[in-house]
Amino acid sequence: MISLADIQQRIEQGALSPDGAIAQALEAIRVQDGTIGAFVRHDQRARAQDSGPLRGIAVGIKDIIDTADFPTEMGAAIYRGHQPRADAPVVMALRNAGATIIGKTTTTAFAANDPTATRNPHNHSHTPGGSSSGSAAAVAAGMVPLALGTQTGGSVIRPASFCGVAAIKPSYRLLPTVGVKCFSWTLDTVGLFASGVRDVARGLAAMTGRPALVVPAHIAAPRIGVVTQDFAGAPEPSGAEALQRAARAAEQAGASVRTLAMPEMVAEAWRIHPVVQDFEAHQSFAWEYGRNHDAMPPLLRGRLDQSRGGTPLDYDAAIAVAARARLALAAVFDEVDVLLTLSAPGAAPEGLSSTGDPRYNRLWTLMGVPCVNVTALTAAGGLPVGVTVIAPFGADARALAAAAFVEDALRA
Amino acid sequence: MISLADIQQRIEQGALSPDGAIAQALEAIRVQDGTIGAFVRHDQRARAQDSGPLRGIAVGIKDIIDTADFPTEMGAAIYRGHQPRADAPVVMALRNAGATIIGKTTTTAFAANDPTATRNPHNHSHTPGGSSSGSAAAVAAGMVPLALGTQTGGSVIRPASFCGVAAIKPSYRLLPTVGVKCFSWTLDTVGLFASGVRDVARGLAAMTGRPALVVPAHIAAPRIGVVTQDFAGAPEPSGAEALQRAARAAEQAGASVRTLAMPEMVAEAWRIHPVVQDFEAHQSFAWEYGRNHDAMPPLLRGRLDQSRGGTPLDYDAAIAVAARARLALAAVFDEVDVLLTLSAPGAAPEGLSSTGDPRYNRLWTLMGVPCVNVTALTAAGGLPVGVTVIAPFGADARALAAAAFVEDALRA
């Protein structure tokens, strides 16, 4: 993988030119992407910008995010050749920070479940996860040092775990979702993939103009609450082992680590996540589903077929549960600085017909809290397994610092 | 004006065919719109749908809301000829309820301050208000019984007041803003214009599948708190008179009416509304402002020029004020059922170079609470002046019922 922080340092030192860094990314795409299939399209003539903290940083953009210079096809036949007028605000934030948008990365159709042909760089017969399949795979394969994805259930953290890259799903609305194809407006969140936690933090800090997000040189040992999410069922052995290993490493590095049960209202929020997601999806995809039913991707169409008839009252009740659960979760952070939990049931499943299971991610998306994936181990078949570090809403800097602490501990 | 409820009743009784109702709207547009200029474009071949509660109802859609069958030009040169792929969810909600989208109504450029050429139907030398200029004017002139607009500061309630029509800015997110050109994601709200409060309620109930929004036959007399918004400065005599007249009429009809001062935190939220709006607008319009600076509408460009350099810390502080103010405002509703306040400083200003002042509207947009405009008097020059009825967040049915109570009282 290519470290964003490393590129920044080499450019600063004059050891690498910004255009040289972009050329390296283009060359890696040329060599790798025929096998991996992480990009829908990319710009072979891409060049660096002259200034900005992200000059020389090549970025891949998930293909549900509007770009003025590339079509945005949503991974779906209905949007083939679709050319937005404008760049989404998150794309302009990258450009304004000096980054080079090098291309568009694959997405499951409409960021739902219908898979792409993208392969996991660690094992080509396994899924990279989804829905941000191409962004996770492009970073994992060393094609780009930074990529954008989105998460409604587990579409950033899960592929990051499967592909062994760091990623953040920031606090809800830290990054605007304007110009991003909507699945569920209560849930959709733009996230970042990079080589390590410090790289993710530098990317997010530059995009948002929030230097406090950069991981400090010295990180105070955090108080960590380990959450097993029993309400979501048991993990596979590799998932359980990843969580244990991360907890043990953090403890050995000086963190205080304890197991925490979630309040019942929080478990209830896990259960009603699909009510919120599906009720809003029926509105978000009303035109596609109503006017282009036959051209809809089959798994998403099936999901919408099955969830027809959700009532406003059911939805209102689910939204009320989410609000109560957010308060209950906030109180949990009186006792610990961060939570540590599973990023996925285990390593990436074999085959490309499924992108894996978001059951350990969806609660935190609904809670709107910042989540950072850290790679914890390499399982059979060379496949990585990650864990998630979670901080309170708005405490993205704390989530990133604690995740860097865990990352350091695991590498020690 | 054409009453939506009246059309529904006549269609139900067989006295009017759905296609006949649409033909009437087309004829009114033909006769009136050359003078008023409420439509950007309309479909002369529009026909009624066969079924649905809104069959035979012709609807005008503000031209910042995506439509698959009409270009969506945002009132701005940068989007000339822009054709979205899909209908916005609110447009599909209308179609699915049986309505006929008859055309696109004028909007100030990007729903900001640069005015349209639309005239106030009550006095052609006065503004209809903005930014939903065409939607308010089209209903006021009797061209359509229902129209959609949006509000970020006062873009639904103010033109409704100036044009003498009923309107609702619903609770934040009762209607999705997906497919609506974003100004500020914390503020933007889709609203409805119609002839009277009951018509607005029927339109919103049909769009949302929430029959509880329909105003009941008997309305219990509400406890009303009159709010003068002194923090926003004094109104003109006609604005003050409208508020007094509405309060007096409601009291005579049996409502309990008292004057209420707002908690200081709520006044502070009024002051920081521009901080939220401008910080988000710089992101929402990043592509337009950064890449098409010279083609930007001059008033919006000037506003963005002046508000450059807003920091994330200022924004975070403003968002925190808004959250505290929402709690403080919720407590006010322990004592009253609804608030009654000014919709505008006074009647529509003369000339078409300004759309008027949203200073009495913007607080409530930031609070996310449902606001309903009711026409309270006719001032000099034949110009109407409205008042606003406000209920707690989520209590849109209460806001509509109380507004209908005030409307009835004023007509008694």
Q: Which of B61, B60, B36 is nearest to B117 (CA)?
A: B36
Q: How far apart are CA B184 and CA B206, in angstroms?
A: 27
pLDDT band at A109 (very low <50, low <70, confident <90, very high): very high
Q: What proportion of chain B, given as a percentage, has pLDDT over 70?
A: 100
Q: Which of A132, A135, A155, A284 does the annotation list as catalytic?
A: A155
Question: β-strand A166-169 against A100-105: which pairing, if any?
Answer: unpaired
Q: How far apart are CA A102 and CA B62, in angstroms?
A: 36
**pLDDT averaged over chain B?**
98
For residue A283, the chain B residue with the least C-alpha distance is B89
Q: Which of B392, B380, B396 is nearest to B238 (CA)?
A: B380
Scanning B253-395, the segments in alpha helix (DSSP H) are 264-284, 286-291, 298-306, 312-332, 362-367
Please give the pLDDT value at position B237: 98
Q: Do B96 and A286 touch (CB under 8 A)?
A: yes
Q: Bridge partners of A169?
A: A371
CA B18 to chain A, closest CA, distance in angstroms equals 22
Q: Do B287 and A87 touch (CB under 8 A)?
A: yes
Q: In angstroms, how far apart are the furthest CA atoms of chain A?
A: 61
Q: List active site positions of B.
A: 62, 131, 155
For B285, phi and psi rounded to 5 degrees?
-105, 25
| Residue A216: Cβ within 10 Å count | 12
Q: Do A92 and B173 touch (CB under 8 A)?
A: no
Q: How far apart are CA A239 and CA A231, in angstroms?
A: 16
Angle (deg, nearest 10), helices A396-411 and A237-252:
90
Please give the pLDDT value at position B80: 97
CB contacts of B86 in chain A (<8 Å) are 287-288
CB contacts of A91 in chain B (<8 Å) are 287
On whether the CB atoms of residues A123 and A143 are closer than 8 A, the answer is no
On whether the CB atoms of residues B104 and B36 are closer than 8 A, the answer is no
Q: What is the pLDDT of residues A288-318, one digit of tens each?
A: 999 999 999 999 999 999 999 999 999 999 9
Q: What is the pLDDT of residues B385-407, one digit of tens each?
A: 999 999 999 999 999 999 999 99
Mean pLDDT value of segment A158-164:
98
**CB-count burial class (<10 Å; 0-12, 13-18, 19+) for B389:** buried
Mean pLDDT value of segment B192-198:
98
pLDDT band at A154 (very low <50, low <70, confident <90, very high): very high
Q: In angstroms, how far apart are the furthest CA atoms of chain B?
A: 61
Q: What is the pLDDT of residues A124-144, one digit of tens each?
A: 999 999 999 999 999 999 999
Q: Do B283 and A177 touch (CB under 8 A)?
A: no
Interface size between A and B, measured as CB pairs under 8 A = 81
Q: Which of A131, A135, A171, A195 does the annotation list as catalytic?
A: A131
Residue of B67, B80, B83, B85 to mutate, interface with A, max A Cβ within 10 Å: B85
Residue of A72, A287, A291, A319 to mutate, interface with B, max B Cβ within 10 Å: A287
Q: Do B283 and A185 touch (CB under 8 A)?
A: no
3-state helix, strand, coil in chain B (%, to 5): 45, 15, 40
pLDDT band at A52 (very low <50, low <70, confident <90, very high): very high
Which candidate from A79, A182, A312 shows the least CB-CB separation from B178? A182
Q: How far apart are CA A155 and CA A306, in angstroms?
A: 21
Please give the pLDDT value at position A317: 98
Q: Which of B149, B119, B117, B150 is nearest to B137 (CA)?
A: B119
Q: Which two three-digit tokens encode residue B135? A: 């939607």
Please give the pLDDT value at position B119: 98
Residues 6 or more apart whose Cβ sits within 8 Å of residue B147:
B59, B60, B61, B62, B105, B132, B134, B135, B136, B138, B139, B192, B193, B194
The ranges assigned to domains in chain B are 4-213
Which candidate from A86, A182, A316 shows the least CB-CB separation from B288? A86
Which candidate from B86, B286, B316 shows the least CB-CB separation from A92? B286
Please give the pLDDT value at position A142: 98
Q: Do A185 and B208 touch (CB under 8 A)?
A: no
Which candidate from A176, A288, A290 shows the least CB-CB separation from B185? A176
Give Cα B116 distance to the centre of its chain. 16
3-state helix, strand, coil in chain A (%, to 5): 45, 15, 40
Q: Which two three-digit tokens encode residue B243? A: 């508020």
Please give the pLDDT value at position B10: 98
Q: How far apart are CA A173 and CA B48, in angstroms?
A: 40
Going from the C-alpha of A106 to that of each of A145, A407, B167, B286, the distances in angstroms are 16, 28, 43, 25
Mean pLDDT value of segment B153-179:
98
Active site residue A135: no
CB contacts of A92 in chain B (<8 Å) are 283, 286-287, 290
DSSP class per residue in A4-56: HHHHHHHHHHTSS-HHHHHHHHHHHHHHHHHHH--EEEE-TT----SSSTTTT
Please give the pLDDT value at position B409: 98
Q: Do B176 and A93 touch (CB under 8 A)?
A: no
Instruction: Give the A-side interface with B, CB within 8 Å.
Output: 68, 78-79, 82, 85-87, 89, 91-93, 95-96, 173, 176-179, 182, 185, 208-210, 280, 283-284, 286-288, 290-291, 311-312, 316, 394
Q: What proportion of chain A, given as a percentage, has pLDDT over 70?
A: 100
Residue A179, sorted as left (phi over 0), alpha (psi -120 to 50) or beta, turns out to be: left
| Residue A261: Cβ within 10 Å count | 13
CA B279 to chain A, closest CA, distance in angstroms equals 12
Q: What is the pLDDT of residues B247-287, one digit of tens each?
A: 999 999 999 999 999 999 999 999 999 999 999 999 999 99
DSSP class per residue in B258-281: EE-PPPHHHHHHHHHHHHHHHHHH
Coil, helix or strand at residue A173: coil
Which candidate from B79, B85, B291 shows the least CB-CB separation from A79? B85
Q: What is the pLDDT of residues B242-257, one digit of tens each?
A: 999 999 999 999 999 9
Which candidate from A85, A87, A284 shows the least CB-CB separation from B79? A85
pLDDT band at B188 (very low <50, low <70, confident <90, very high): very high
**CB-count burial class (<10 Å; 0-12, 13-18, 19+) for B23:** middle
pLDDT band at A324 (very low <50, low <70, confident <90, very high): very high
Scanning B71-177, the segments in alpha helix (DSSP H) are 89-96, 133-140, 157-163
Q: Do B287 and A92 touch (CB under 8 A)?
A: yes
Q: How big is chain B, counted in residues?
A: 412
CATH 3.90.1300.10 fits A4-213, yes or no: yes
